Structure 1
Amino acid sequence: MRFGIIGCGTIAQIMHIPNVVEIPDAELAAICDPAENVIEALGERYNVPPERRYTEAQQLIDESDIDAVIITTPMQTHADIVETTLESGLDTLVEKPLAVRPADARQLATVAEQSDATAMVAYNRRFELAYERLADELTDVEQIDSITDYAVDADFSKSLPDIYDLVEPELSDSFIERSTERRRRQCKQAIETDDDDLAAAYDFQLEHICHDVNALRGLFGDVASIEHVDFVRDGYFATAHLVFDGGERCVLQTGDSNRHWHEQFLRIDTPDRMLSLEFDHPFVKYNSASLSIRSGTEETVDCQYSPTREESFKRELERFIACSRDGAAVPTPISEACADVELIASLFAHGRE
């Protein structure tokens, strides 16, 4: 399966490009990024011919002989690019979040429904072996007392240069200013505000908690209601109380920090057991999630499930290829990702109220 990569930034360099190269059923056929130094360096690194290195997404779509694309551009560009790739019949794997504005996400959901191409959103957490094990464990649970989802980011920029040989983009100031303004404008429109600080908080939270919102959706379905939202630090830390369709209640805590460590976990309490799914540094390859289960009413039994180091991004890509070839149901469809964007925008509406 011949892939084109649109957007060759951090996550593409760490995860997506190496995975395409390593998986036998995939081939890196073309790359695209507005920074010429990036496509030149990565083209040489991965033997992509010069004629298959592009600075415009439309050029790659029109000129390269590919079967599928992986879109890892900034989120404010997703709507336009995904609509074009799906209308061109290209199987499309797009990084989360699907879009900045709920209206754009709904438009993409319509386009995906009408397209014959496979469309999938890259929620890699859903492909962690420990997450799948948690889903299996929950089939035996009759009652859930509470759900706690906690995610506080560290400053990942401090550690990444010491781990990976990343090619940093060389872009003009005018290009960066236009891109930043487009992103800021979309964030304001998404939550209907003129407040720069609130729009910046939405920008962070959308990219940050879309992982958690979708992981919860995969286990418990849709959110029926938002009971309460409390924002502090100008929106960069939040606590939300969610109720799912099945009646399960969840406390969602999300924030940004200057800490050196990343902390993210999903805890489920039942009358006779506690299940805790813990995620580690999201940018370190083969850094699998783990599942802890403590159970017992007469005596306490602890079980730790730490799967063999498998890369969730790679398992995600393998599933995408299988869906494209076999027509199997997509596990993380655009319709779900659309609902995630709508929910996160709704958190800000509730917070203002």
Structure 2
Amino acid sequence: MENKLVVGVIGLKMGKNHLEAAIKYGAKAGAICDTLESTLNAVGDEYNIPADKRFLDYRDVVDNKDINAVIIATPDQLHRQMILDFLAAGKHILCEKPLALTRDDLKTIIAAVRKYDHKFMAGQICRFTPAFVKAKEIIDAGIIGDLYYVESEYAHDYAHILGDPENWRADPIRHGVIGGGCHPVDLLRWFAGDPEEVFAYGTHKMMPHLCYDDATISVLKFPNNIIGKVFVSIACKRNYTMRTLIYGTKGTIICDNTSSTMQLFSTEDEGRMAAKPQIIEVEVNDHNAVREFAVFADAILNDTSIEMSAGEGAKTVAVCLAIVESSQIGKPVNPDYNF
């Protein structure tokens, strides 16, 4: 069990939020790393990180024995090797979603996590979004009864990002369902369990220069007679949202990650629906890195387990891979959770 945290942050575009969260928690910033020197120095100057703790090569952080925890917020394609190197060097790891992009990488990562006795957290941030946390509390309390249908979406416009075919998000192996769709997939897994079967269709009208579909809809069969739907669009012309609907035998929740309120429809005596839904106020925080890091840090300092483990991260990607496969072959696919 560690008695202090000295953290290295790898990749400072998304990693900047993680750095700030670590500092707010009280951890020491032992190193920051980015391949763009301008980004490295801008973030370093903003957070008063000494010049000798700024690195362009992550391997310099691997070799730093003072650092006991790292946050990997790099392009997804780089996760596997970085995870292997940091685990072998004795570091605890918080890795941004998705854990990896291929089944081979997932299996290699899971094997390494099992080999080394270090804490590992897959950064599925929606499990810390206030509206979704509240929805989970309502579900677990039985307020809306037994679930029978759940749906969520990842509606985002990447046009300003993916206009450049050299952008890492345009990589053929980083399908939008894996890179962005892992958010709603993981959320529905959290609410309803691991899908047993998926069926999907994709379309490719908005960004024809990409090598993968830019919109996908999938139907999911969950345990306990629950069905679900996930919609992913990475080029939709609307504001970003993860609108989510959760239907139970006694009520319904409507929420998202960008609104300050959510709705709870519930039943009164004799099963009649209440005349009006309950409006629940929630904090708007769709990237709650502060809470995420606190869970990671507490697990290290108190030697407790982490719900969002490497195995959980791998299961979410397994469902995403099954959705992509189904959309390509036109048949239902059973996600493979064996790693």
Q: What code does the residue aligned with 2:153 have?
A: Y
| One-letter identity of the residue aligned with 1:300 | A
Residue aligning to 2:152: 149
Q: 1:54, CA displacement in angstroms?
A: 0.9
Question: Counterpart of 1:21?
Answer: 23
What is residue 11 of structure 2 aligned with on the other side?
7
**Post-superposition offset of 1:308:** 4.3
Match of 2:125 in 1: 124
The alignment status of 1:295 with 2:266, answered yes or no, reads yes
Residue aligning to 2:337: none
Q: Give the paired residue count.
A: 309
Give 1 or 2: higher helix fraction.
Answer: 1
Q: Is the 8 A contact 1:224 1:245 kept in 2?
A: yes
Q: Give, in whole Å, the separation in 1 of the partners of 2:47 and 2:137.
A: 39
CA RMSD in angstroms, aligned pairs only = 2.4
CA contact (8 A) 1:149 1:252 kept: yes
2: distance between equivalents of 1:17 and 1:289? 26
SS, match of residue 263 in structure 1 = coil
2: CA distance, partners of 1:156 / 1:322 = 38
Is the 2:129–2:257 Cα contact (8 Å) retained in structure 1?
Answer: no
Distance (whole Å) between structure 2 residues aligned to residue 300 and residue 92 of structure 1: 48
Given that 1:240 and 1:253 are in contact with CA atoms closer than 8 Å, whether structure 2 keeps it comes out as yes
Residues 150 and 309 of structure 1: CA distance in aligned 2, closer, same or farther (over 3 Å):
closer
Distance, in Å, in 1 between the alignment partners of 2:50 and 2:127 is 34
- Return the match for 2:213 from 235, 238, 243: 235
Corresponding residue for residue 309 of structure 2: 333
Cα distance change of structure 1 residues 149 and 51 upon mapping to structure 2, 3 Å threshold: same
Residue 194 of structure 1: aligned partner: none
Q: Displacement, 1:21?
A: 2.4
> Secondary structure in 2 aligned to 1:264?
coil
Q: 2: CA distance between counterparts of 1:85 and 1:229?
A: 36
Contact between 1:35 and 1:55, CA under 8 Å: does it hold in 2? yes
Q: Partner residue of 1:164? A: none
Of 217, 230, 243, the match for 1:252 = 230
Match of 1:304?
279
* In 1: Cα distance, 2:214 partner to 2:158 partner: 14
8 A Cα contact 2:296 2:306, kept in partner: yes
Determine if contact 1:231/1:238 at 8 Å carries over to the other structure. Answer: yes
For residues 101 and 31 of structure 1, the distance between their equivalents in structure 2, rounded to whole angstroms, comes to: 27
Structure 1 SS opposite 2:264: strand
Q: CA deviation at 1:180?
A: 4.9
Question: How far does residue 236 in structure 1 lie from its aligned partner after superposition?
Answer: 1.1
Indicate the residue corresponding to 2:188 in structure 1.
216
When normalised by structure 1's length, the TM-score is 0.81
Indicate how the Cα distance of structure 1 residues 289 and 5 shifts in structure 2: closer, same or farther if over 3 A, else same: farther
Cα displacement (A) at 1:289: 6.4
Say which SS state the counterpart of residue 254 (structure 1) adopts. strand
Say whether the 8 Å CA contact 1:86–1:117 is kept in structure 2.
yes
Structure 2 segments unaligned to the other structure (5+ residues): 205-211, 330-339
1:299 & 1:71 partners in 2: Cα distance?
Answer: 46
Runs of 4+ aligned residues of structure 1 deviating over 4 Å after TM superposition are 155-158, 308-311
CA–CA distance in structure 2, aligned partners of residues 128 and 351 of structure 1 = 29
Partner of 1:89: 90
Q: Secondary structure at the match of 1:279?
A: coil
Mapped partners of 1:309, 1:143: distance in 2:
27
List alignment gaps of at least 5 residues for structure 1: 159-175, 188-201, 281-287
Deviation at 1:270, TM superposition (A): 2.5
The answer to whether the aligner puts 1:203 opposite 2:179 as a matched pair is no
- Shift in alpha-carbon separation, 1:43–1:300, aligned structure 2, 3 A: same
What is the SS of the residue equivalent to 2:177?
helix
Distance 2:238 2:179 in 1: 19
Output the CA distance in 2 between the equivalents of 1:290 and 1:331: 27
Report the Cα offset of residue 3 of structure 1.
Answer: 0.7
Query: Offset of 1:156 from its aligned partner?
Result: 8.5
**Who is 1:172 aligned against?**
none
Corresponding residue SS for 2:220: strand
The letter for the 1-side match of 2:11 is G
Secondary structure of the structure 2 residue equivalent to 1:56: coil
